[in-house]
Amino acid sequence: MDPICFHIGTRPVYWYGVMMALAFLAAIGHWNWLGRRAGRDVSLAGDLAFWLMAGGILGARLAYVISNFDYYRAAPQDIIRIDQGGLIYYGGFIGGAIAFFSFAAWRRMPALDLGDFVATALPLGHAFGRVGCFLNGCCGGCAASHPSFLTGGLARYPVQLYESLFNLGVYAFLTWFFLRRRGPRHGAVIALYLLLYPVGRFLLEFIRGDDRMRVGGLDVAQEISLAMIVVGIVLWFVVRQRTANAAKGLN
């Protein structure tokens, strides 16, 4: 797979960068559509995208640089070359979360309510990003047990495409749930995302073929996935309790 999409003069434009741009455009389009249905400020989508893009890219790149520190210590000029790939999703998730809470505080908006709105677009943008990984040839799968009809050698699991399809399924479910929910169940969509995505990511890590940082018998992404599931379970029960108390007229 050629990682270069096209050239501007002699400068290559990589598929990874193109797909990342499409990911943010898809998220903005989704937030605009959902915001109109939910009666939100029309400027919200653009402002959100700017803050989350900045925090997410910085966090994702920082995590990747730390994971490959020996290389970047010898070639610090490549640290800014995100157009060639090199972003770690969970690093981006943490960076984006910091940017999100900063944005919510700046706009004086309830974090859980805004978080439900934001969370619906996360798997959509992530799906585009994983296609970018596939086209770039990074974050690939391990060798499969069957031969490839293209090369005649052992095929590799297209784990990037598996994760992209899984994310699209999560996106469809979260959007449906957001539109169908009743009552002040703020935080429920966030909880569902924390319960759904990490399960798929945890399982797909078993067929990743690139070098993975490990802690004990699991890699770091799997450890983070388990932690996110625990947080999702706790948040789900907190949301249910708060909803029940609101129905009874309690604070």
**H or E element that contains 14:** strand 11-14
Interatomic CA distance for residues 156 and 202, integer angstroms: 18
One-letter amino acid identity for 130?
R
* pLDDT tens-digit series, residues 21-71: 899 899 999 999 998 888 887 788 888 888 988 999 899 888 888 888 888
Residue 18 carries which side chain, given as an amino acid letter?
Answer: V
pLDDT digits (tens, 9 = 90+) for 68-109: 888 888 888 888 877 666 778 888 889 999 999 999 999 899
Radius of gyration of the chain (CA): 19
133-142, 196-205, 242-251: segment of lowest average pLDDT: 242-251
pLDDT greater than 60 at residue 151: no
User: The whole model's pTM is what?
Assistant: 0.82
Label residue 26 exposed, middle or buried (CB < 10 Å: 0-12, 13-18, 19+). Answer: middle
195 contacts 170 by C-beta, under 8 angstroms: no
Cα(167)–Cα(198) distance, integer angstroms: 11
Q: Domain locations in the chain?
A: 4-139+151-247
Structure tokens at 209: 């073929």
